[in-house]
Amino acid sequence: MAQIFPPWWNKLPIVAAIAGSLGPALAIAGVWYYFSPWYTDVGYRPVQPVPYSHRLHVGELGLDCRYCHASVETSAVANIPPTRTCMNCHQTVLKDSAVLAPIRDSAQSGRPMRWIRVHNLPDYAYFHHSAHVTAGIGCVTCHGRIDEMETVTQMTPLSMSWCLDCHRNPGPNRRPTSEVTNMKWTPPRDVGMLAAQLERDRPVNPPTDCSGCHR
């Protein structure tokens, strides 16, 4: 008697079992990724009221981060620079540029520029900027190579798990405080030795419990 079903049909139960187990796992992985900061936040690049090129100002002209963000070493918040900081240069450099008209209007009227914050943590997450800078965490660690960006883009998720990875093992991300704003700084070959030296010079104990960041 001829077989009704071909021999490969015998494998269908196995294939069905594998598909039945992988399907939910893939669905969970998809939901986890597409609702995580890696998908929702990384790559965020808002259009600013004036196109400010960090590639030009930082990368080519060598402007230090602290010239505009003057409070990073002393304050919990990295300040958005006031208009007068821009006008320190642009009252003479490109003073008639149409692109910079909003800057001039802000300076004359006293109304602040409405810059759009790129790296914006939720209110329930406590973050102290100077604590990280004085511990030797470089700007690049969280913000990426700003000196290569025409438009500032969020390069890291700034999620709880991402922060905790560093809090549990800060050594590889630390550098001498003199190099914190140096975008081109590269760690020595023996990172462990540098981390040990920095820990001896300035011990750090980042919180890993909930109350450390959720106060």
Please tell me the total number of residues recorded for the chain in this structure: 215
As to burial, measured by CB atoms within 10 angstroms (0-12 exposed, 13-18 middle, 19+ buried), residue 208 is exposed
Q: Is residue 14 part of a domain?
A: no
Q: Is residue 183 part of a domain?
A: yes
Q: Is residue 50 part of a domain?
A: yes
Give me 110's structure tokens. Answer: 């006293």
Q: Is residue 132 part of a domain?
A: yes
Count of the separate structural domains present in the chain: 1
Domain assignment of residue 104, given as a range:
45-204
Q: Is residue 136 part of a domain?
A: yes
Measured CA to CA, the distance from residue 91 to residue 59 in angstroms comes to 22
Q: Is residue 127 part of a domain?
A: yes
pLDDT score of 34: 45
Q: Is residue 189 part of a domain?
A: yes
The list of the chain residues with pLDDT below 50 reads 30-35, 39
CA separation, residue 128 to residues 51, 138, 156, 171, 186 (Å): 28, 14, 18, 19, 25
Q: Are 141 and 135 in contact (CB under 8 A)?
A: no
pLDDT score of 137: 97
Q: Are 183 and 211 in contact (CB under 8 A)?
A: no
pLDDT score of 35: 46
Q: Is residue 175 part of a domain?
A: yes
